[in-house]
Chain A
Amino acid sequence: MYTISNRLKTFSIILIVLGVLGVAYGFMTSHKSLEEVKIMLADDGHGGGHDVPTEAHVVAGVENHADNTHDIGAHDATADVDQGVHDDEHAAHVQERLAKRPWSAMYVAAFFFMMISLGVLAFYAINVAAQSGWSPLLNRVMEGISAYLLPGAIIVVAIAVGSHYIGHHNEIFIWMNPEVVADDKLIQNKSSYLNIPWFLIRAAIFIAGWVGYRHFARKFSIAQDTAEPGDKSNFKKSFRIAAGFLVFFIYTESIMSWDWVMSVDPHWFSTLFGWYVLSGMLVSGVTVIAMVAIFLKSLGHLPLVNDSHIHDLAKYMFGFSVLWTYLWFSQFMLIWYANIPEEVTYFVTRIEDYNLPFFGMLVLNFLFPLLILMNSDYKRIPWFVMMCGVLILVGHYVDIFVMIMPATVGDQWFIGIPEIGSILLFGGLFLLVVFSSLAKAPLTVKNNPFLKESEHFHY
Chain B
Amino acid sequence: MEESSKVIHAIYTDDDVLMAAVKKVRAERYHIEEIYTPFPVHGLDKAMGLAPTRLAITAFIYGVIGLVVATVMMDYIMIEDWPQNIGGKPSFSYIEGMPAFVPIMFELTVFFSAHLMVITFYLRSKLWPFKEAENPDVRTTDDHFLMEISAGHNIDEQFDILRNTGAVEVTLIDKAH
Contacts and interface: CB of A to CB of B under 8 A. Distances in A.
Interface in A358-402: 374-376
A338 B89 CA distance: 10
Contact of A336 (B56, B60, B99, B103): B99
Contacts of B103: 333
A337 B102 contact: no
A209 to B, nearest CB: 37
Contact of A333 (B56, B60, B99): B99
14 contacts: A329-B99, A329-B102, A333-B99, A333-B100, A333-B103, A336-B99, A337-B87, A337-B89, A337-B99, A337-B100, A339-B87, A339-B88, A375-B56, A376-B56
Contacts of B87: 337-339
A332 B88 contact: no
Interface in A332-353: 332-333, 336-339
Contacts of B100: 333, 337
B60 A374 contact: yes
A332 B100 CA distance: 11
A338 B56 CA distance: 38
A108 B99 CA distance: 28
B106 to A, nearest CB: 9
Contacts of A333: 99-100, 102-103
A132 to B, nearest CB: 18
Interface of A: 329, 332-333, 336-339, 374-376
A332 B99 contact: yes
Nearest to B86: A337
A26 B89 CA distance: 42
Interface on chain A toward B: helix, strand, loop, or mixed SS? helix
Contacts of A376: 56
Contacts of A329: 99, 102
A334 to B, nearest CB: 10
Interface residues of B, number: 9
Interface in B70-99: 87-89, 99
A333 B87 CA distance: 13
A337 B100 CA distance: 8
A374 B99 CA distance: 24
Interface in B40-88: 56, 60, 87-88
A336 B100 CA distance: 9
Contacts of A339: 87-88
Contacts of B99: 329, 332-333, 336-337
Nearest to B88: A339
Interface in B94-139: 99-100, 102-103
Nearest to A329: B102
Nearest to A332: B99
A332 B99 CA distance: 8
A95 B102 CA distance: 41
A272 to B, nearest CB: 16
Contacts of A332: 99
A338 B87 CA distance: 7
Interface in B10-60: 56, 60
A337 B101 CA distance: 11
Among all A-B residue pairs, the 9 with the closest Cβ atoms: A333-B99, A336-B99, A337-B87, A329-B102, A337-B100, A376-B56, A332-B99, A339-B87, A333-B102
A375 B89 CA distance: 37
Contacts of B60: 374
Contacts of A337: 87, 89, 99-100
Contacts of A336: 99
Nearest to A336: B99
B57 to A, nearest CB: 9
B110 to A, nearest CB: 12
A314 to B, nearest CB: 15
B19 to A, nearest CB: 14
A7 to B, nearest CB: 41
A376 B53 CA distance: 12
Contacts of B56: 375-376
A374 B63 CA distance: 12
B60 to A, nearest CB: 7
Contacts of B102: 329, 333
